[in-house]
Amino acid sequence: MEEKNRFALAMRMGRAALGMSQQEFAEALGVAKSTVARNETLEMAMRADTLTAMMRLFRERGIDVDLLGATDTLTITVTAKGLEALENRRMEKGKEK
């Protein structure tokens, strides 16, 4: 799998694991929503600073992404911390309604 595809897939899957919209994810990374959308659809190559911010955010929120492993797979692990954060987010969104 090409590197740019791995980065795009990692972004989309990791963001989904966090339960975040593109807008929420973009705000957490400090980039425009269009940047996230264009990175996920491969319309734009991911910048190194965006990749670094993304990996930091994932790590902080309990999502482990192995971008350096086997080139024919992409492993994303949601830790207990990540599951707890997702459940808390789900509960918070339920209270907003």
Give the tokens for residue 21: 């919209």
**How does pLDDT run across 38-82, given as a tens digit for each residue?**
999 999 999 999 999 999 999 999 999 998 888 888 999 999 998
* pLDDT attached to residue 44: 94
CA 88 to CA 9: how far, in whole Å? 25
Residues in the chain, overall count: 97
Q: Is the pLDDT of residue 97 over 70?
A: no
Specify the pLDDT at position 2. Answer: 86
Per-residue pLDDT, 1: 67
**Res. 88 pLDDT band, cuts 50 70 90:** confident
Domains along the chain with CATH numbers: 3-96 (1.10.260.40)
